[in-house]
Structure formats: structure tokens, C-alpha cells
Amino acid sequence: MTQIAVIYHSVTDTTRGLGEAVAEGARSVQGTSAIILAVKGNDILEGRYSNSHVLSQLEQADAIVFGSPTFMGTVSAQFKAFADATSECWEKQGWANKIAAGFTIGSNFSGDQLHTIQYLQVFANQHGMLWVGLDIPCNSVEERRNRLGAQSGLIAHSPDGVLNEADCVTARYLGQRVALTAQAFKGVRQKLS
Ligand SMILES: Cc1cc2nc3c(=O)[nH]c(=O)nc-3n(C[C@H](O)[C@H](O)[C@H](O)COP(=O)(O)O)c2cc1C
């Protein structure tokens, strides 16, 4: 069984909704299981994130999909606290050759969400992970997938806290693509790690 983990931070639940759609897409691939984990603010004490249960579940996954709302042009402070808490794992390159992908949402059409995706990509690369983006051009006719046109990850937009169905369709597609890639690379990862 190929295991996909989605880890996200969300305040008003739009990022959570995208994360659930990513997990749903991953589960649609036969032989894949998906778990969804939240970064919780009360796991952060004096700026430092700590949750050994979450970190051990991520260690077991073949692929990790990262999600954060775009706050002031980058990931939320809570997501960054979680990211900083993975530095022990980074030292051992414990996530090396796992598949990675990312998603974000903002209330503006061009609210610097791309920077959030690029941060997530750099974070994954620091861990030696293999980044998967989207292989669908902007406004693909099928259900307007990838309506905002980013290909390095899923960028979503909601001005009112309600998710756009096209963004959910794209999130499911991203989950499916991550699962298929993780399945294909599982043997390679075992050889490399
Ligand atoms: C502190 C703060 C900063 C924000 N910064 C941005 C931003 O830089 N760009 C943007 O498009 N939206 C920005 N937003 C809007 C959120 O990204 C948007 O409401 C998002 O859907 C929230 O995600 P959540 O529902 O998962 O909490 C900001 C919201 C807050 C509260």
C-alpha cells in the first residue's frame, strides 16, 4: 500500500477543504491510502512546534503534500513553525526521495500565492524530496482545472471563504498525480534511501 500524507494549516478551513480534496484524489488511486494531518496552533509553545505523533506519521509516508494559506505573501507562521520543527529530520534526510507537492489559497487573484508554493518547494528540496507539480495548462477545458494557471503547485483563490469547485477538482487531480507518482517511484526510493 502506498501511503500519502497531507499536512496543512488552516484558520478558516479553506486550506483544510483543499487538503481533503487532495486526500480524496490520492485515495482514488488503487493501492493508496491517505491521511490528513493539521498543524494546530496549540502545538506551538513560545514559537516552537512540537507534535511527535504528527512527525512520526509523516516519516511513514511515501509522499507528503504540504498546504498552507498565503499569509502576507508566504506560508502562515504556524506552518513555518511546523517546518522549522522538521530540522532534526532534515539532518538525517529522513524524508529524502519521498514525493512532495503543495497547495495554497489566498483571497486575492494574485495575492503572491506563488511565493508560498515556491517556499513549500524549497522546503521539500531541503529535505531531499522529489517535487511534483501540475501537468495541466491554465483553464484546461475539463472542469476548468488549474483555472489560475500555476504549474508548480495548486494555487486557489477565494474572496469569501467558499471554495471554488474548479480549485477542488484541481486539488483532487493533484492528489491523484502524487499517488500515481509515489507508486511509480516506490522502488526507486527504496534503492536510493
Ligand atoms: C494575516 C493574513 C494575511 C493574509 N495574507 C494574504 C496574502 O498575502 N495574499 C492573499 O491572497 N490572501 C491573504 N490572506 C487571505 C487568506 O489567505 C485567505 O483568507 C485564505 O482563504 C485563508 O485560509 P484558511 O481558510 O485555510 O485559513 C491573508 C489573511 C490573513 C488572516
Question: Which residue segments constitute the domains of the chain, with CATH numbers given?
Answer: 2-192 (3.40.50.360)
Considering only CA atoms, give the Rg of the chain. Answer: 15
Is the minimum distance from the CB of 158 to ligand 1 under 6 angstroms?
Answer: yes
Q: Phi-psi bin for 156: left (phi > 0), alpha (psi -120 to 50), beta?
A: beta
Is the minimum distance from the CB of 70 to ligand 1 under 6 angstroms?
Answer: yes
71 Cα: distance to centroid of ligand 1 (angstroms): 5
**Number of neighbouring beta carbons within 10 Å of residue 144:** 16
With CA atoms as reference, report the closest residue to 163 among 9, 20, 34: 20
78-123 pLDDT tens trace: 999 999 999 999 999 999 999 999 999 999 999 999 999 999 999 9
Is the minimum distance from the CB of 106 to ligand 1 under 6 angstroms?
Answer: yes
Query: Which residues fall within 8 angstroms of residue 23, CB to CB, at 6 or more apart?
Result: 4, 6, 34, 35, 36, 175
Is the minimum distance from the CB of 116 to ligand 1 under 6 angstroms?
Answer: no
What is the DSSP secondary structure assignment for residue 186, as one 8-state letter? H
What is the DSSP secondary structure assignment for residue 42, as one 8-state letter? G
Q: ipTM score of the complex?
A: 0.99
pTM of the full structure:
0.97
Instruction: Tell me the C-alpha distance between 76 and 68, whole Å.
Output: 6
pLDDT of residue 141: 77
151-163 pLDDT tens trace: 999 999 999 999 9
With CA atoms as reference, report the closest residue to 24 among 154, 180, 176, 166: 176
Instruction: Tell me the C-alpha distance between 179 and 2, whole Å.
Output: 7
21 Cα: distance to centroid of ligand 1 (angstroms): 19
Instruction: Out of 20, 105, 158, give the residue to mutate to test ligand 1, the one with the largest number of ligand atoms within 8 Å of its CB.
Output: 105
pLDDT of residue 95: 97
For the chain, count helices (H), then strands (E): 6, 8
- Asked if residue 192 has pLDDT above 90, the reply is no
* Beta-bridge partners for 140: 145
The per-residue DSSP string of 111-125 comes to SSHHHHHHHHHHHHH
Amino acid at 135: D
